[in-house]
Amino acid sequence: MFHKRKSRNIFWRNIILSAARKQDFFRAFGFDESNSHLLEAELLNLALTVEVTQVKEVERGTKYVLIGSIRTPIGRVVTIATIWMIERN
């Protein structure tokens, strides 16, 4: 069994991708500049319909992890983890 703090750190390291890797991931499923509005709509729908999986307090604010599925332009449904942050003023 993982120690709670250790498993959280592993979880965060595994879901954070570089911008280039995110771009490659979404392009592989048919998202590009011509249909970026579709990705925006899918991400907003995910944010409105799934439960928060994890909360992490960081120096700049609070990060929320949401895991859910989005429909892609090539007709596939993929499960992704998204991180949303509310910054402190």
Global pTM reads 0.76
Q: What is the pLDDT of residue 15?
A: 54
Domain total in the chain: 1
d(CA 57, CA 66): 15
Residue pLDDT, tens place only, 19-40? 788 899 999 999 999 999 999 9
Tell me the pLDDT tens digit for each residue of 60-74: 999 999 999 999 999
Give burial (CB, 10 Å; 0-12/13-18/19+) of 86.
exposed
Domain range enclosing 48: 4-87
Contact of 53 with 67, CB cutoff 8 Å: yes
